[in-house]
Amino acid sequence: MKTLVDFLQAKEIEKSQIFIHLKCSAAEAIKLQYLARKYMQGQDDVLVLDLLQELHEGDNYEYLEHLQEVKILLELGWFHQQSFTPMKISEVTPLELLNTAVGLSPSFLKLLQEGTLESDLPEIKPYFDHLEYLQDQFFRIELYQKMSSIRQNVHEHSLGIDIIQSKLVLLEQRIDERVKQTAENLVLDKFFKQKKMTKYEQVIFIALLREEYSSTDTSLREMNSLIDLISFDEYQRIKNRSLLEEGSNLIGEGIIDYEEMLNPFGGISRAFYIVDEVLQNIIHPQKNKKVTRLKLNALVREQEIFELIDSETSLEDVVLSKKTEETLANLMRQVDKEVMNRLIKWGVKDKKSGIDARIIFYGAAGTGKTMTAYSLAKSLKRQVLAFDCSKILSMYVGESEKNVRKIFDTFYDLCEKTKTEPILLLNEADQFLGARSSGISSSADQMHNQMQNIFLEQIEKFRGMLIATTNLLENIDKAFSRRFNYKIEFKKPDEVQRVKLWQKMLPVDAPYEKDFDVIVLSKYGLTGGQISLIVKNTAYKVAVRQNPVFTLEDFIQEIQREKDANFDSEKSMGFINK
């Protein structure tokens, strides 16, 4: 405590032992001394107004000239605000600080106790093992984080950053010296040299590695967080984006990869992670186990249950009713990663589990249920494993109950082997979801009930995102209905929607008769699936003519023909805007 006593008793503040570390003027250091004395009297904070009036007496408000000194001490990190509504220092004028309370920061108190900023730096000696080396590297990331935090809460040229940066330079020099003195190769250092990674590439890698070890929140995995970590001004932010883009060394060499997620504001954010095989070699250098992520499409080809769908359309491409759009928008917010993290923090959700959602899309054929499921997957950056439930009886006669379980077991197995989270789509799920027979009159009824009971059991404990499509919600057994988080209705499009559908689906470069009016076509009550097929059928008819021009009559004839053929009973994959 000699340093503390020396500072408290110093009559010439420049001669105190710690003044050289403060990087501030004598006038600013006197304010630190004043607060240190108050602290020793049991007072944690003081009003800036009281501090200035006591140190700078006078009747002409001379103390106001010293407000800037208080702001500098806040920027340096020696003072911190004690108010309930802290302000971002870079955005306030000195006068705004006059009636706020300030106290000594933990950093300054530590300096008073230790007498130096280098007390927590490692000794220059050989590393004992790989973990000791990692400990220094993780401390390095902590300093980068502190600088990033100061830049965001103060400004990019804060004096406080200079202090931490000086400490960071010393730490990096000591790490280099310790590596040189270490006889055995350190796995991570060797990896950096093999991959010829630059200083900032190393920082990104270590930050992601620290996330793996700490298992804390994923704030450092986000692209902007990683860029802010290594960027000291706007120019560097723009320049450093290239380190995390396609074609960069880190991604091109298979060192790191990323997942894209929809954020609450409708944009796409990237969350980065270290590739499994690289991570395995770094964390467990003694084990030669090779970890690879199997491709989902390769495994799907080896089984006969699912069809793998990579949708080309997102939710922006689908024409839906306003209410359905709102429900889906709410669903997207519920499955956002930030929302998931909140639920985990509140203890509502298991930290290890991904997105859990069980959804029913119901409505008439051709209203876009299946296409919307595909488009939702596209918006969530996921693939779809689709199963046609109408085939369950024909595929598995005699052992339906056993093979209902097989559907879900195969889904979980594919997810586990590929380390992915595809959406499970159960199309035409009416017979799974329908009301169970109360009076069983045949073995077929008994088998059907057993199959439904097993399906209900699987839905109850389902892990992941599941979408079931059905035509009639009224027929669904109440026990099933309760198991689904969302029940989203797909209504037939109204006239406004039909105008939009016709405009989007009509061939763009085709010739049309004079005065061709899509409003006329929109008067016919058609679903999106019907409009899609009518456009295609009409195009085939017109294309073979000598004078291939589309007329309203061509479409009207095709509309009438399809309506006369009871087209509503046809099944459609949905509809899109292109």
The overall pTM is greater than 0.95 = no
- pLDDT per residue as tens digits for the range 267-282: 567 788 898 888 888 8
How confident is the model at residue 575, as a pLDDT? 47
Report strand pairing: 45-47 vs 101-104.
antiparallel
Q: Encode 208-228: b = buried (16+ Cβ within 10 Å), e = exposed.
A: bbbbeeeeeebebbbbebbbb
Q: Which of 127-131, 151-155, 239-243, 511-515 has the lowest mean pLDDT?
A: 151-155
Would you place residue 198 in the very low, low, confident or very high pLDDT band (cuts 50, 70, 90)? Answer: very high
| Under 8 Å between Cβ of 100 and 152 | no
Least confident range from 329-333, 414-418, 437-441: namely 437-441
CB of 540 closer than 8 Å to CB of 554: no
Q: Which residue has the tokens 């796995």?
A: 187
| pLDDT average, residue stretch 479-502 | 86
The Cβ-side half-sphere exposure at 119, using a 13 Å CA radius, reads 12
pLDDT value of position 83: 59
Percentage of the chain surpassing pLDDT 90? Answer: 22
Instruction: Round to whole Å and give the CA distance between 570 and 365.
Output: 7
Class of domain 2-114: mainly alpha
Please state, in angstroms and rounded to a whole number, the distance separating the CA atoms of residues 204 and 220.
9
Query: Distance between CA 521 and CA 512 in Å, rounded?
Result: 14
Has domain 495-569 been given CATH number 1.10.8.60? yes
pLDDT of 291 reads 44
Q: Say how far apart CA 417 and CA 413 lie, in whole Å.
A: 6
Q: pLDDT (tens digit, 9 = 90+) per residue, 281-290?
A: 887 766 554 4
pLDDT category at 90 given cuts 50, 70, 90 is: low
Among candidate residues 425, 412, 341, 337, the one with its CA nearest the CA of residue 375: 425
Rounded CA-CA distance 230/274 in Å is 18
Q: What is the pLDDT of residues 252-266, one digit of tens each?
A: 888 998 877 655 555
* 425 membership: H or E segment, kind and range: strand 423-427
Mean predicted lDDT score pLDDT of the chain = 81
DSSP β-bridge partners for residue 363: 490
Is the confidence at residue 34, as pLDDT, over 90? yes
Q: Has domain 296-490 been given CATH number 3.20.20.150?
A: no
pLDDT of 218 > 60? The answer is no
Q: Is 50 exceeded by the pLDDT of residue 139?
A: yes
CB 35 within 8 A of CB 83: no
Residues 477, 426 contacting (CB under 8 angstroms) = no
pLDDT greater than 50 at residue 217: no
Looking at residues 415-425, what average pLDDT do you find? 86
- Cα–Cα distances (Å) from 425 to 324, 411, 422, 485, in that order, read 18, 11, 9, 15
Which of 76, 139, 63 has the alpha carbon at shortest distance from 104? 76
Does 572 or 18 have the greater pLDDT score?
A: 18
Domain limits of the chain?
2-114, 130-283, 296-490, 495-569
* Residue 241 in tokens: 């984006």
Asked whether the predicted pLDDT for residue 11 surpasses 80, the reply is yes
pLDDT at 395: 52
Phi then psi for residue 457, to 5 deg, are -65, -40
DSSP H or E stretch at residue 343: helix 337-345
Q: What are the CA-CA distances from residue 495 to residues 111, 502, 566 (Å)?
A: 73, 10, 21
Q: How confident is the model at residue 463 (pLDDT cuts 50, 70, 90)?
A: confident
Q: Based on C-alpha coordinates, what's the Rg of the chain?
A: 33
Which range has the worst mean pLDDT, 9-13, 73-77, 80-84, 356-360? 80-84
Highest mean pLDDT among 212-221, 322-331, 351-360: 322-331
Least confident range from 170-174, 412-416, 449-453, 555-559: namely: 449-453
The answer to whether domain 296-490 and domain 495-569 are alike in fold is no
Between 107 and 291, name the one with better pLDDT: 107
**SS3 letters for 281-335?**
HHHCCCCCCCCCCCCHHHHHCCCCCCEEECCCCCHHHCCCCHHHHHHHHHHHHHC
96 contact partners, CB below 8 Å, separation of at least 6: 87
**Sorting pLDDT into bands at 50, 70 and 90, what band is 541?**
very high
Residue 94: other Cβ atoms inside 10 A: 16
Instruction: Taking residues 100-111, report their average pLDDT.
Output: 86
Strand pairing category for 486-490 and 357-363: parallel
